[in-house]
Structure 1
Amino acid sequence: MTRRIALTVLALVTVLLVLAVVPLGVLLTQREETSFRGAAEAAARTLASAAEENLSDHKPDTDLRELLDETQDEGGCAAVYDAAGRVIARTSCAAATSRTARGLVAATLADQRTVAHRSGDALTVATPVGDSADAVGTAVLVRSADPLDDRTAVVWAWLALIGVVGLVLGTLVSVRLARWVGRPLQAVDAAARHLGEGALDVRAPADSGPEEVRRLAATFNTMAARTEALVHGHRAVTADVSHQLRTPLTALRLRLDLLAADAEGEDAVELAGAQEEIARLSRLVDGLLAAARAENAVPRPVPVRVDEVVAERITAWEPVAAERQVELASHSPGRPVVYLGAGDLEQLLDNLLANALEAVPGGGRIRVEAASAAASFGPGTELRVVDDGPGMSPEARATAFRRFGNPEARGTGLGLAIVHRLATANGGTARLEETAGGGLTVVLELPAVPRGQGPEPGRPPQRTG
């Protein structure tokens, strides 16, 4: 933004300078040309007055000769023609008697008016001698245009210097203005990015920039403070619920265990059923707390190696799979890296593997596949957990990501809700597909590491387990 503001202001200053300097330069150039031509015509008329005394009044040509000598000393050329176009007096240089000069003489005698013509570096002026209605001759004056060109060059040089100085000042002003406006906005943008990454205590500076930007920063800080208070409040409620629910459940379970040790007959059967319900209630409470933590958590993403985490979780769940006679396998070519909150990939895999092991019967198989792919939100990694269990009906798949939304669930019905929450909170997506040949496939599209935020060369991504 700073660059765009600076370039916009600089372009405006450049246009204004061009619109002001160029017309002024043209005007001053025309003024210099008019002044130079007027001076040449005045000198030609003075020469014509001296020639009239000689041609009309038949006086000696002393004054005429003096003017011709002065003209030659000043670097000009002059000549006097009679009514027949014959040269009666001239300077030693031949410019005033050239073909161009004779053409101007003929035009002057025909039109009875002063004629001027510039050819190359010389200005030639021809003016009638005597009355304009009855000229007795023509005076021709040729002057070099070098002084005019020099003055014109000086004018344009000064104007160019003024333009360059104005452009430099405009550049400084535009950069200063752009930074004054852009830096506070960049600070608000950085603060919003850090807030989205989980830094709830971040605030934007609200003491610099235009008034509108300061108000924006103040509004952002108010929003960030309220968000921080809400998240901390939810976390506090989660901690309180965890303490309040787990303690009585543990005490009740211990009492039932003591009673079951001495119970016989029908009492033992009833107590065993009560113990199963208490165990189910404990799992349900644990699932609710896990879902609440997932909803309240604001991830701070870090680069995570998918193949390493998948291998680690497969190893951790191998004993459970072996006990249930289920085969676990993984395939992660290309060593993909994703950008997730610390520990989130482990939670995703644990919930997916737990759900799959609950659903797949003995002799079944579960595969975890990960590969780089163009996800719906941009470059990323596609993580697939494929099982060959009974699968889900289309109606169950449509509501499986909601809490207790799957009526066919064998567990608490919260695992897929936690998976969906963790995936979307990290900027990814989650969906369910039917496995070819029967079963269920959970597909997660996880974001790749943004450019410039990946691990340093030669340094592996962070481990989150």
Structure 2
Amino acid sequence: MTRRLTWTLLALTAVLLVLAVVPLAVLMTARERVAFRDDQRAATRVIAAAAEEHLSDHKPATGMRRELDAAARTGDCAAVYDTSARLVASTPCTAAQGEEAQELVRHVLAGHEPEPPENEGRLLAAEPAGEVHRPAGSVVLARSADPLDARLATIWGWSAGIGFVGLAASVLLSVRLARWVSRPLSALDATARKLGEGALDERAEVGGGPPEVRRLAATFNTMAARTEALVHGHRVMIADVSHQLRTPLAALRLRLDVLGTGVEGETAAELDAAQVEIARLSRLVDGLLAVSRAEQATPRPTAVRVDEVVTERVAAWSPVAEERGVRLTASEGPALIASLGSGHLEQVLDNLIANALDAVPDEGNVAVGHRLTAGSVRVWVRDDGPGMPGAAKEVAFHRFGNPAARGTGLGLAIVHRLVTVNGGTARLEDTPGGGLTVVLDLPLWAGKP
């Protein structure tokens, strides 16, 4: 963000400098050229006035020669022509003579104002000696353009220097302004990331940056404090509920065990059925508590070796699968590292494998595999059981979404919550040939394992 702000401000400053400095330099250049021309024409008129006295009034050429000598001392070249365009007098240098000078003289003697050309680094100027429409002759003055070029170079040099200084000052100001704005935002972003990773006690600095950023940091801290209080409140409630429900259920199970001692016949059958319902209620309470814990989870991402966890969980569930006559296998895959909360992938696979083993009949198959996809780790649990209707798939990740489930109906809700809280996705697909496949896309670990 600092770099983008800096470059944006530099671009705006550069545009403003170009729009301000370049037109000013062009204007000053034009004024210098006009001033140079006016000074040259004034010097030419002085010689033309002295030449008129000689050409028109037939006075001695002393005054004309004096002005020509003065022009020569300043570095100018001048030449005086009569009405026949014949050279009358000139300075020692011949830059005011030649074809271009003759062309200027003809235009002046014809009563026109010629366009002064530039001849080998010298600017030519021509003025009539006497009246414009009835001149007694013409004067051509050639002056070196080096002083003009030097002044123009100075103007553009100073303009470039001003632009460079302005740009350098803009760099310093832009960097400081960008850092002033971006540093508190970067700190706020880091704090938000830590809060999202489970560090509920993280708070943002409120002292730096623009007022809007400080207000944003203060609002964020208020939100974080309320979130921390809410999460801690839910955790305390879950712990209380866990204790308050499990204790009476355990006591009730114990009482039923005592009552069932030595009982036979229909009474024993009824007590066994009550024990089954209590066991089901216990599993339901455990499932609800597991869902609540998953919903309140704010995991700190860790590097999880997916291939190792898959192999471990398949090995752990293999005795259960053999007891039920189900073939449980793990497909070979690459060594991949996902970014997940500690123990979450184990819990997810335990729920999915348990559901799959409950769903498939004897001699059925359950396969667990993983592979690398575009930017994520894909894990799947595939079975060849009865599958799931489309309507049931749409609500399968909700609590009690599948009323036909053999268990509590909470396993997929726990899976969905644990996957999504870690930034992944979960979906259900039909297994080719029949059955259900649960597909998980988990985020890749970005750091070092």
Q: Secondary structure at the match of 1:444?
A: strand
Work out the percentage of aligned pairs sharing the same amino acid.
61
* Match for residue 385 of structure 1 among 363, 366, 381: 381
| 1:348 corresponds to 2:339 | no
* Match for residue 423 of structure 1 among 408, 419, 422: 419
| 1:213 corresponds to 2:213 | yes
- Tell me the distance in 1 between the aligned counterparts of 2:131 and 2:394: 110
Please tell me the residue identity of whatever aligns with 1:438: G
Residue 308 of structure 1 corresponds to which residue in structure 2? 308
- Tell me the distance in 1 between the aligned counterparts of 2:266 and 2:133: 149
Please tell me the residue identity of whatever aligns with 1:318: S
**Is the Cα–Cα contact under 8 Å of residues 325 and 363 in structure 2 kept in the other structure?**
yes
Please tell me the residue identity of whatever aligns with 2:245: L
Aligned-residue offset at 1:414:
1.1
RMSD of aligned residue pairs (Cα, Å) = 2.0
Aligned-residue offset at 1:115:
6.3
Q: Secondary structure at the match of 1:75?
A: coil
- Tell me the distance in 1 between the aligned counterparts of 2:230 and 2:120: 85
- Tell me the distance in 1 between the aligned counterparts of 2:103 and 2:384: 109
Residue 252 of structure 1 corresponds to which residue in structure 2? 252
Please tell me the residue identity of whatever aligns with 1:446: L
Q: Secondary structure at the match of 2:261?
A: helix
Residue 299 of structure 1 corresponds to which residue in structure 2? 299
- Tell me the distance in 2 between the aligned counterparts of 1:115 and 1:407: 101
- Tell me the distance in 2 between the aligned counterparts of 1:13 and 1:198: 43
After superposing on structure 2, the runs of 4+ consecutive aligned residues of structure 1 that deviate more than 4 Å are 112-115
Please tell me the residue identity of whatever aligns with 1:417: A
- Tell me the distance in 1 between the aligned counterparts of 2:147 and 2:130: 30
TM (norm. structure 2) is: 0.94
Please tell me the residue identity of whatever aligns with 2:261: A
Residue 458 of structure 1 corresponds to which residue in structure 2? none
CA deviations on 1:25-51 (whole Å, 9 max, x unpaired) are 111111111111111111111111222
Residue 6 of structure 1 corresponds to which residue in structure 2? 6
Please tell me the residue identity of whatever aligns with 2:94: A
Q: Secondary structure at the match of 1:335?
A: coil
In structure 2, do the counterparts of structure 1 residues 437 and 47 end up closer, same or farther at CA, with 3 Å as the change threshold? Answer: closer
Aligned-residue offset at 1:353:
1.2
In structure 2, do the counterparts of structure 1 residues 143 and 108 end up closer, same or farther at CA, with 3 Å as the change threshold? Answer: same
Aligned-residue offset at 1:126:
1.4
- Tell me the distance in 2 between the aligned counterparts of 1:24 and 1:396: 76
Residue range with higher mean Cα deviation, 102-111 or 358-367: 358-367
Aligned-residue offset at 1:290:
0.8
| 1:334 corresponds to 2:327 | no
Residue 201 of structure 1 corresponds to which residue in structure 2? 201
- Tell me the distance in 2 between the aligned counterparts of 1:42 and 1:438: 106
**Is the Cα–Cα contact under 8 Å of residues 112 and 135 in structure 1 kept in the other structure?**
no
Which sections of structure 2, spanning at least 5 residues, go unmatched?
none
- Report matched runs for 1:384-403 at 5 Å: 384-403=380-399
In structure 2, do the counterparts of structure 1 residues 318 and 46 end up closer, same or farther at CA, with 3 Å as the change threshold? Answer: same
Aligned-residue offset at 1:424:
1.8
Residue range with higher mean Cα deviation, 316-325 or 282-291: 316-325
- Tell me the distance in 1 between the aligned counterparts of 2:227 and 2:248: 32
In structure 2, do the counterparts of structure 1 residues 52 and 398 end up closer, same or farther at CA, with 3 Å as the change threshold? Answer: closer
CA deviations on 1:409-434 (whole Å, 9 max, x unpaired) are 11111111111111222222222233
CA deviations on 1:258-288 (whole Å, 9 max, x unpaired) are 3333434444333333322222222111111
Residue 119 of structure 2 corresponds to which residue in structure 1? 119
CA deviations on 1:181-208 (whole Å, 9 max, x unpaired) are 2222222222222222222222222222
In structure 2, do the counterparts of structure 1 residues 88 and 415 end up closer, same or farther at CA, with 3 Å as the change threshold? Answer: same
In structure 2, do the counterparts of structure 1 residues 112 and 430 end up closer, same or farther at CA, with 3 Å as the change threshold? Answer: closer
Residue 76 of structure 2 corresponds to which residue in structure 1? 76
**Is the Cα–Cα contact under 8 Å of residues 396 and 408 in structure 1 kept in the other structure?**
no
In structure 2, do the counterparts of structure 1 residues 291 and 119 end up closer, same or farther at CA, with 3 Å as the change threshold? Answer: same
Q: Secondary structure at the match of 1:261?
A: coil
**Is the Cα–Cα contact under 8 Å of residues 41 and 125 in structure 2 kept in the other structure?**
yes
| 1:165 corresponds to 2:165 | yes
**Is the Cα–Cα contact under 8 Å of residues 110 and 133 in structure 2 kept in the other structure?**
no
Residue 28 of structure 2 corresponds to which residue in structure 1? 28
Q: Secondary structure at the match of 2:237?
A: helix
- Tell me the distance in 2 between the aligned counterparts of 1:152 and 1:127: 26
Residue range with higher mean Cα deviation, 383-392 or 260-269: 260-269
Residue 373 of structure 1 corresponds to which residue in structure 2? 373
Aligned-residue offset at 1:129:
1.3
Aligned-residue offset at 1:113:
5.4
- Tell me the distance in 2 between the aligned counterparts of 1:153 and 1:67: 31
Residue range with higher mean Cα deviation, 332-341 or 93-102: 332-341
Residue range with higher mean Cα deviation, 224-233 or 431-440: 431-440
CA deviations on 1:133-160 (whole Å, 9 max, x unpaired) are 4321112211111111111111110111
Residue range with higher mean Cα deviation, 3-12 or 284-293: 3-12
Aligned-residue offset at 1:394:
3.4
Please tell me the residue identity of whatever aligns with 1:152: L
- Tell me the distance in 2 between the aligned counterparts of 1:221 and 1:272: 55
Residue 191 of structure 2 corresponds to which residue in structure 1? 191
In structure 2, do the counterparts of structure 1 residues 10 and 262 end up closer, same or farther at CA, with 3 Å as the change threshold? Answer: same
Which sections of structure 1, spanning at least 5 residues, go unmatched?
456-460
Residue 447 of structure 2 corresponds to which residue in structure 1? 454
